[in-house]
Amino acid sequence: MSKKLICLALVLYLGCLIVGCQLRDKESPTRLTYNLPTKLTIDVGQALPGTHIVYQELSDRGAHLLIDGKVAVKRKGDSFKWEGTPSDGVEVDLDLRVAWYNEDQVHLVGMAKIVIEGVAPVASTISTDSPISYAGPAVYNLAKGAIIPGSTLSYQGEQDDGAELGGTTEYPYRQVGDSVYWEGRLRQNVSIRLELRVLQYDDRGLRLGGIVSLWVG
């Protein structure tokens, strides 16, 4: 099973426990907060993208990380925390654990909180080359007329052909289980991709679940 399908299954299971559960209003917010289960990798001799934390080497004691100018020896299950501003208008708070490591890489898993200011979504083809990226499952409950956060898409209500989406030039109707895909820029230095599925809808609201991917820088 692919990683994306696993994440989607997690969304379906967790329901409203994941980010984006409250009913959204009709205005697109200019400040977005994502709390994403995520995994990150640090290559030996390199810094974790967006930070100054470097994986120096592997020894019998564990993985040697350089943090704030001091060596921290991390073993499997050890905590890994960092917060900072990797790019203008973006604040990141990482609360991770060391999953595993070898001579080449340290692998981290946990939660990433990403706060983005000055959001003004624009649909566009995006570049996914940025080394600073985060992805995880999300669920959105949208009231009729509300905009999907981080996009230009809105929910227009239940029609004979299904749930009607606004803000698109493509076929606007979706049935339960159908995909909702959108990509573009949240601001000049932040790109987003939404890969969602319709979980439920009626004339009052729409429920979506799937994967949110962010690229910073």
Average pLDDT over residues 91-109: 97
Contact 184, 123 (CB under 8 A): yes
Do residue 126 and residue 163 come from a single domain?
Answer: yes
- Residue range(s) defining the domain that contains residue 192: 3-30+118-216
Query: pLDDT at residue 10 above 80?
Result: no
* Residue indicated by tokens 């060391």: 98
Contacts of 169 (CB under 8 A, 6+ apart): none
**pLDDT tens profile 163-199:** 999 999 999 999 999 999 999 999 999 999 999 999 9
The chain-wide mean pLDDT, for the chain, equals 89
Could you tell me which residue, 24 or 96, shows the higher pLDDT?
A: 96
Q: State what percent of residues in the chain have pLDDT above 70.
A: 87
Whether residues 23 and 123 fall in one domain: yes
Residue 123, token pair as written in the block: 């649909």
Q: What percent of the chain has pLDDT over 90?
A: 83
| Same structural domain, 159 and 95 | no
pLDDT of 22: 40
For residues 65-75, average pLDDT: 95
Q: Are residues 78 and 183 in the same domain?
A: no
Do 22 and 77 fall within a single domain?
no
- Res 75 pLDDT > 50: yes
201 CB neighbour count, 10 Å cutoff: 21
For the residues 18-26, what does the mean pLDDT come to? 45
Residue 35 φ then ψ, to 5°: -115, 100
Q: How many domains does the chain have?
A: 2
